[in-house]
Amino acid sequence: KQEVTQIPAALSVPEGENLVLNCSFTDSAIYNLQWFRQDPGKGLTSLLLIQSSQREQTSGRLNASLDKSSGRSTLYIAASQPGDSATYLCAVIGGGNKLTFGTGTQLKVEL
């Protein structure tokens, strides 16, 4: 059974800092990995999708990497802003297009 873990569970940083969120998964037989953002009481916003054949994807200040063989992915956020405060979830996509979600990292960017 696939298990997805995210470290740290919570993170508080001052505005402007660069930061890295970590995601690890136990079964490397995945198709894709997707990073999401969830604001309190809200649904999910897709940030980046990395296909299993890719090593990284970039969108604006966000960069996600994938090392499928070691079962790891990182989400790098450059020049963090208070508006980046949210819970970040990674999810691995396996057979049947099913997503298995990680435990999440709650990020707070302070002024």
By beta-carbon proximity to another protein, the closer residue of 83 and 95 is: 95
Residue 53 CA to residue 56 CA, distance in Å, equals 9
Residue 10 CA to residue 29 CA, distance in Å, equals 28
Stretch that binds another protein, among 11-19, 61-69, 70-78, 92-100 (CB under 8 A): 92-100
Answer for which of 17, 42, 55, 70 binds another protein (CB under 8 A) is: 42
Stretch that binds another protein, among 11-19, 21-29, 75-83, 88-96 (CB under 8 A): 88-96
- SS (HEC) of 52-78: CCCCEEEECCEEEEEECCCCEEEEEEC
Q: Give the binding site for another protein (CB under 8 A).
A: 31-32, 34, 36, 41-46, 49, 51, 89, 91, 93, 96-104
